[in-house]
C-alpha cells in the first residue's frame, strides 16, 4: 500500500498502528520495527525512518508512506477490514486513518 498525504500540522514523531477487524474483534498486525505497549496491549511501530516515511512532518508538505503487510501461512483465508493509523508521537492523535476491506489468501 502506498499512501500520500499533506500534513496540516508540524509533527516531530509518527507511530503506526495496524489491525484487522474480524467478526468485530480487532486483531493487531505485527509489523517491524515493533514496540509492544503492554499497558494498552497493542502493537505500534515507529514510522519515522521506516516505510519510506520521513520526519518531522512539515505543514503543507506531501508525505509518503509505503507498507506491505506480511501474510503468514497460519492466517486463515477470510475477509477482513484493515485499519492503519498514523499517530502523532506517543499520543492517540491520528494524523491519518485508513480503513479498507481485504481478503486474506495464502
| Fold of the domain spanning 2-103 | Immunoglobulin-like (2.60.40)
Q: What are the domain boundaries of the chain?
A: 2-103
Q: 23-53, pLDDT tens digit by residue? A: 888 888 777 665 544 434 456 788 898 888 8
Locate 61 and state its grid cell: 508538505
Q: Is residue 67 pLDDT above 50, yes or no?
A: yes
First to last CA, the chain: 18
Asked if residue 56 has pLDDT above 70, the reply is yes
- Is omega for the bond preceding 56 within 30 degrees of 0, making it cis? yes
**Between vectors from CA 9 to CA 50 and to CA 65, what angle results, nearest 5°?**
25
Amino acid at each position: 500500500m502506498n499512501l500520500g498525504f499533506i500534513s496540516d500540522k508540524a509533527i516531530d514523531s509518527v507511530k503506526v498502528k495496524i489491525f484487522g477487524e474480524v467478526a468485530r474483534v480487532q486483531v493487531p498486525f505485527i509489523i517491524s520495527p515493533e514496540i509492544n505497549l503492554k499497558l494498552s496491549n497493542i502493537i505500534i511501530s515507529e514510522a519515522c525512518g521506516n516505510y519510506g516515511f520521513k520526519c518531522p512532518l512539515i505543514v503543507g508538505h506531501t508525505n509518503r508512506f509505503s507498507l506491505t503487510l506480511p501474510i503468514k501461512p497460519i492466517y486463515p483465508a477470510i475477509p477482513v477490514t484493515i485499519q492503519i493509523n498514523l499517530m502523532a508521537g506517543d499520543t492517540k492523535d491520528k494524523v491519518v486513518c485508513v480503513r479498507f476491506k481485504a481478503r486474506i489468501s495464502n
